[in-house]
Amino acid sequence: MTKRITLKLNRETRSVEVEPNDILLDVLRDKLGVKSPKIGCERGDCGACTVLLDGKSVRTCLILAIEADGQEITTVEGLSQAGLTPVQQSFLEHGSFQCGFCAPGVVLSATELLGRNPHPSEAEVKEALAGNLCRCTGYKPIIDAVLAVSRKPGRRI
Amino acid sequence: MTQLKVVGSSPSRIDGLEKITGAATYVDDLSFGPDLLHAEIVESPYAHALIKRIDTSAAERVPGVVRVVTGKDFPYRFGLYMQDRFIFPSDRVRFVGEQVAAVVARDAKTAKRAAKLVKVVYKELEPVLDLAGALKDDAVLVHPDLGNYPRCPWFFPQAGTNIAHYRKTRKGDVEQGFKEADVILEDTYTIPRYAHCAIEPHAIVGLYDLAGRLTLWSASQSPYTQRHVFAQALAPLGLSHKDIRVVTPYVGGGFGGKAGVSMEIIGAALAIMVKGHPVKVRWSRAQEFYNTYQRQGVIARIKLGAKKDGTITAIEHTLHWDAGGYVEYGANVVNAVGLSATGPYRIPNVKIDSVCVYTNLPPGGPYRGFGYSEFHFGLESHITRLARKLGIDPVEFRRKNAIREGDTLAYGAKMNPSGLHEAIDRVAAEIRWGHKESSTDPHKVVGKGFACFWKAPAMPPNAASSAFIKFNEDGSLNISASGMEIGQGYLTVMAQIASEMLTVPVHRIRIEPPDTDRNAYEWQTVGSHVTWGCGNAVKAAALDVRGKMFEVVERALGLVRDTLFLEDEKVKCRARPDFELPFKNFVISGIQTPHGNFIGGPILGSGVFMPEFTSALSDPETSQGGHPNVHYTVGAAAAVLEVDKQTGRMRVLKAVLAVDAGKAIHPELVKGQVTGGVLQGLATVLYEDIRYDLKGKLLNANFTDYKIPTALDLPDEIVPIIIEVAQPDGPFGARGVGEHTMIPAAAMVANAVEDAIGLRIKTLPITAEKVALELRGIRYDDVKGAYMGLCFAGQPDAYDFRTTSAKKK
C-alpha cells in the first residue's frame, strides 16, 4: 500500500509515492534525489539529517514521509540556489568544517537560529547547535562563524 | 629558498565550497540506479561460540532476496598486518555482533526482514572477556590456529596462548637504573575502550561486473591498502590488483576507524556473489560501535625512578592490551607503544613490555593517537606524581628530562629535531603555571594540569607516497595523489605545496579524493604522515614539472636552463629580464619555432617519496638495531579545570596545546586540528564511557548512551600554539600534527583534578559521577554495578602483570 504525497521541496512542487513506514530522510535521499541530509544515527541523536520543515529545523530520520505531506522543505541545496547565503559565506571564511558530513545540518540549524534571532548570544548559538554533532572541529569555528554573521549589520540571513 | 608565499599562509579550504553547499559527495550519496542491491548482516549474539549449522532456506524463499552468503562461500582470512580476521567466519564467532551471514535483496527492508529468518545453531563457548581470563594458565583460546596466520615480520604471536603480539624494548640496565634512583614510584593505570564516532557510518558499494572487474566505492582512509588487502583475500578466486578498483569519495570523518579494512571486505565479497549487480553495505550507528574497530583497552604498570636532582634514571612500563577478537591492525598499535612508551624523555635505562591479548570483545584497531593517548594517561600522570614526590615542580621536572635532538631513543636510533622545550615553556607561560586560581563559588575549586606528548607515525618501512601533476590548457593544475581528505585539510595543503613550487595560485589547482585506477599510489592516510610523506611526493612532482618546463624552453628558445625561474605563472630568465612566457602559452601545446613546428607538449610530472632510512628489523628481545619510526612530533599541553565539589561536575576553563608542526603549511588548519583534537581528547576523559554486559555485549552503541561532545561542551577557551622546529626531510620542514592533539588530554585533566581536589584518579574516564563518589570516599569500582567497562574485571591494583603466558616467552 502506497500513498502519494506532495511537498514543496526547495521551492519546487514534488510529488512522490511513499509507503506508510517510509521515513522522510530515506524518501528525500532515495526517491527525491536530495542527498545533503545525511544518515548518521537514524535515531535523532546526531542532526546530520536536519532540514527546515516549514522553516523549522527537524530531524528527518524521526519523521514519517507521510507526515510531511503538503509541507515545505528546505535543504542546503535549496539555500544555495541564489549564491551563498551569509551563513554559508561565513562558514567558508571561518573554515568551519573539516570532513563536512555534518555541515548541511549545521548550516540549516544556524540559518533557522539567525532567522528568528538575528543577534544571538554565544550561549544561544551553542544551544541552537547542540543537536548537531560534529566530531572534527571542536565546534569553535562553527560558533565563531555564526556569531560573525550576527555581528554584520543589515544582512539578510 | 626565497621567501615563502603560499606555504605558511591560510588560504580558504579548496573543499570548502563543496562542503557548505551540500555538493560534497560521500559514498552513500552516490547513485547506482534501480539495480542496486542492499545487504543486511546476520550477527552473532554470542561473544564466543562454535557455528554448528546455518539454515538459509527460509530467507532465500523471501521474494526479493537475491542471495544469502555465509562463511562457506568465503573460507578466506584477511588482515593488514596479520591475517586473523574472516570475511564470514565458518567455524566460530569471536565477538557479539560479528557477521555470520549476509542477505542480499532488492531493497533494504526485504533484506532486513529476511535476515531474521536465517537460522544459526551455535554451541556457546566460554567467552574470554578480560585480560586476566585471557592470560590465566588454562585460558580458553580465542584463536587456536594463531601459529598458522601469515603476518608481518615484526609481530611475535605466541601460539597456544591468547598473546597475539609481544613487543619488548630493552635499553641500558633497569635494575642498575633503579639502584641509582633516590625515589621510585610504581603504580597501575587503566584505560577502557573507546569508539571513534565519525558522523558518517562506514559504507561500501561493490560491483563485480560481467567482465570480471571488481569496483568498490568505499568510505575509506586507505584506498590502495584496501585494494591490496582485497586482492590478497580474493586471490583464490583469481582476482588480482589489476582487476580491483577502489574509489573513495569524500569521507565523513575517519579518526583511524576507516583505516585499513574492516567491514569493507563484506562489500567486496558480496559483490563477487551477485556478479553484474551493484550491492551496498551501509553500517548502522550500532554496527559502527561494535563491528569496525574500537580503541583498545589497556592496563599499564609503570615503575619510574629519579635522582634527587630530578634526573630520571629508569623506567619499567608494562602494558597489557585488550585487543578483541581480531588484531590484524590493533596489534600494530601495541607494537608502536612498545617502542615509544618512554614518552618524550631521555631515559637511560628502559624496559617496555607491550602485550597484545585476544579477548572476545569487538576488534581493536587504530584510533587517533594509535596507543599514545592510552599510555600517556598513565605516564604523564606518573611524571607529575614523581615530581611532587621529589619536591620538584612538575613542569621543571619535565623540562629537565625532556628529550632533545640526537638523544638515543629506547630502540637505539636518534631523536629528530624537536621543539619540546619551547612547547613546555610557551604552554607554561600561557597557562600561568604556578599561579593558583580560585573560584568565587565556595563549592568550586580550580586546578591546573600539565602534560607533554609525542608520537611517531606507525608505518611499515616501505610505506610510500607518490603524486602526478599535470597542466591544463589555461595553465591551471591537477594534482593526482591518493592521500585521503578526511577533514584535516590534506587537499588544501597539497595544493599549497604545488602552488609554492610552481607559482600557480591555490584556487587554480584541482586535487580530488582518490581512485586507485587513476591516482598515484599512497600507502594510506594514517599516522599523521600524509602532509609529510605525500607532501614530499607532491613537492618532488612539482620539481619534475618545473624541470620539464625549463627543458622545453631551453630546447625551443635556446635559453639556458639554469637561468630560468618561475614567477606569477610565467617562466622568466635571469639573463634576459625582458623575457616572460606565461604557462598557458605552452604547457599543453608547446612552443612554436620560426619554422612553424611545435616543441614540447603537455607538461606532466611525477614524484615519489619513500622513507628509505627506516627499518623494522630489530632484535625481538630488545628492539635494538632497527629504525622503526621516521620521526616524532612533540608538544605540551595544559588545562585549567574547575571542579564542583558537590556534584563532581568539571568545566575546562582553559586548555592550551603547543605542537611542533616543523613548518605549519596552513596555520589555520593546524589550529583546527588542535581545537578538534583537544575536544575529542577531553571527551575521552570527561564523558565517553563504554559499557559491556557480563556476556560481552556492548550496551551503549548509540549517541544517547555513549556521549560525545556537543557545542555546549566546548572548553571556555582553547589556545593553540604552533612551534616550528623544522623536520629536515619534511616538505618545507613540515611534519604531521593531526593525531597528536588529543594525546595529552586525559593526563592533563587527571593532573588538574589532583591539583584541584587532591584525588589521584588512575582509571579513565574521569566522569563527574566518579569524582563525586571519590570525594565522598566511595570507590567507584565498588558501586558501579554489574557491567564491564574495563579490560580487567577486578580491581586494577590487584592485576597480576606476571602472567603465566607472558612468562613463557
Could you read off the pLDDT of B257-303 as tens digits, one per residue? 999 999 999 999 999 999 999 999 999 999 999 999 999 999 999 99
CA-to-CA distance for B637 and B655, rounded, in angstroms?
7
At A156 the pLDDT is 55
The shortest C-alpha distance from A12 to chain B (Å) reads 18
Phi, psi of B12, rounded to the nearest 5 degrees: -60, 140
**Chain B residues touching residue A45 (CB < 8 angstroms):** 285, 702-704
CA-nearest residue to B701 within chain A is A41
pLDDT at B808 over 60: no
The shortest C-alpha distance from A108 to chain B (Å) reads 10
Residue B90 CB burial class (10 angstroms; 0-12, 13-18, ≥19): middle
CA-nearest residue to B284 within chain A is A41
Q: Is residue A98 located within the same domain as residue A142?
A: yes
| Among the partner residues A99, A104, A131, nearest to B253 by beta-carbon distance | A99
Average pLDDT, integer, range B769-787: 86
| Among the partner residues A75, A91, A98, nearest to B22 by beta-carbon distance | A75
Buried b / exposed e across B247-277, counting CB within 10 Å, b at 16+?
bbbbbbbbbbbbbbbbbbbbbbbbbbbbeeb
Buried b / exposed e across B691-721, counting CB within 10 Å, b at 16+?
bbeeebbbebbbbeebbbbbbebbbeebbbb
Q: Are B466 and B608 in contact (CB under 8 A)?
A: yes
| Among the partner residues B252, B284, B672, nearest to A101 by beta-carbon distance | B252
**Three-state secondary structure call for residue A64:** strand
Smallest CA-to-CA distance from B630 within B673, B669, B674, B662 is with B662
- Cβ of A101 within 8 Å of Cβ of B198? The answer is yes
Pick among A101, A109, A147, A149 to test the B interface (most B CBs inside 10 A): A101
**Chain B residues touching residue A100 (CB < 8 angstroms):** 15, 18-20, 24, 250, 252, 487
CA-nearest residue to A137 within chain B is B676
* Count of structural domains within chain A: 2
How far is the CA of B416 from the CAs of B405, B611, B623, B731, in angstroms? 5, 14, 19, 15
Domain boundaries, chain B: 16-23+464-609, 32-125+202-282, 164-195+294-459+617-798
Query: A80 is written with which cell numbers?
Result: 544555495
Which CATH number does the domain housing residue A11 bear? 3.10.20.30
CA-to-CA distance for B581 and B734, rounded, in angstroms?
32
Is residue A156 situated within a structural domain? no
How far is the CA of B456 from the CAs of A59, A117, B60, B336, B673, in angstroms? 41, 47, 50, 8, 17
At B793 the pLDDT is 77
Could you read off the pLDDT of B241-253 as tens digits, one per residue? 999 999 999 999 9
Q: pLDDT exceeding 70 applies to what percent of chain B?
A: 99
At B323 the pLDDT is 97
ipTM for this prediction: 0.97
CA-nearest residue to A90 within chain B is B20
Q: What is the CA radius of gyration of chain B?
A: 27
pLDDT at B809 over 70: no
Boundary-marking domain end, from A54, A75, A96: A75
- Cβ of A137 within 8 Å of Cβ of B282? The answer is no
Q: What pairing do the DSSP bridges indicate for beta strands B570-573 and B580-582?
A: antiparallel
Please give the torsion angle defined by the CA atoms of residues B105, B106, B111 and B112, in that order, rounded to the nearest 10 degrees: 170
In what helix (H) or strand (E) does residue A59 lie, and over which residues does it extend?
strand A56-59
Q: What is the mean pLDDT of chain A?
A: 95
Boundary-marking domain end, from A50, A75, A100: A75
Which CATH number does the domain housing residue A116 bear? 1.10.150.120
Q: Are B591 and B557 in contact (CB under 8 A)?
A: yes
Query: B408 is written with which cell numbers?
Result: 638515543
Domain range for A115: 84-151
Amino acid letter at B194? Y
Average pLDDT, integer, range B490-499: 98
* CATH no. of B32-125+202-282: 3.90.1170.50
**Three-state secondary structure call for residue B454:** strand
Could you read off the pLDDT of A9-66 as tens digits, one per residue? 999 999 999 999 999 999 999 999 999 999 999 999 999 999 999 999 999 999 999 9
Q: How many CB atoms lie within 10 A of CB B173?
A: 15
At B806 the pLDDT is 46
Portion 34-93 of A in contact with B at CB < 8 A: 35-36, 38-43, 45-46, 48, 75-77, 80, 84, 88, 91-93
Positive or negative: CA dihedral B379, B384, B386, B392? positive
Q: What is the mean pLDDT of chain B?
A: 96
Architecture of domain B164-195+294-459+617-798: 2-Layer Sandwich (3.30)
CA-to-CA distance for B181 and B174, rounded, in angstroms?
10
pLDDT at B497 over 50: yes
Smallest CA-to-CA distance from B322 within B311, B312, B334, B332 is with B334
Pick the CATH number of B16-23+464-609 from 2.60.40.3140, 3.30.365.10, 3.40.50.720, 3.40.50.1220: 3.30.365.10
**Three-state secondary structure call for residue B41:** strand
**Chain A residues touching residue B205 (CB < 8 angstroms):** none
Portion 119-148 of A in contact with B at CB < 8 A: 125-127, 129-143
**Three-state secondary structure call for residue B759:** coil
- Cβ of A138 within 8 Å of Cβ of B676? The answer is yes
Could you read off the pLDDT of B374-425 as tens digits, one per residue? 999 999 999 999 999 999 999 999 999 999 999 999 999 999 999 999 999 9
* Residues counted in chain A: 157
**Chain A residues touching residue B12 (CB < 8 angstroms):** 92-93, 95
Are B32-125+202-282 and B164-195+294-459+617-798 equal in CATH topology? Answer: no
CA-to-CA distance for B55 and B550, rounded, in angstroms?
69
Task: Give the pLDDT band (50/70/90) at residue B634.
Answer: very high
| The three-state (H, E, C) secondary structure of B726-744, written as one string | CCCCCHHHCCCCCCHHHCC
Is residue A157 situated within a structural domain? no
At B288 the pLDDT is 98
- Cβ of A43 within 8 Å of Cβ of B251? The answer is no
Average pLDDT, integer, range A78-90: 92
Boundary-marking domain end, from A18, A40, A75: A75
Phi, psi of B657, rounded to the nearest 5 degrees: -140, 125
Residue A66 CB burial class (10 angstroms; 0-12, 13-18, ≥19): middle
Q: pLDDT exceeding 90 applies to what percent of chain B?
A: 96
Could you read off the pLDDT of A110-153 as tens digits, one per residue? 999 999 999 999 999 999 999 999 999 999 999 999 999 998 87
Portion 13-32 of A in contact with B at CB < 8 A: 29
Q: Which residue has the cell 558501579?
A: B784
CA-nearest residue to A34 within chain B is B29
Q: Is B733 left (phi over 0), alpha (psi -120 to 50) or beta?
A: left
Q: Are B426 and B433 in contact (CB under 8 A)?
A: no
User: Omega of the bond prior to B765 within 30 degrees of 0, cis?
Assistant: yes
- Cβ of B489 within 8 Å of Cβ of A38? The answer is no
Smallest CA-to-CA distance from B281 within B293, B294, B263 is with B263
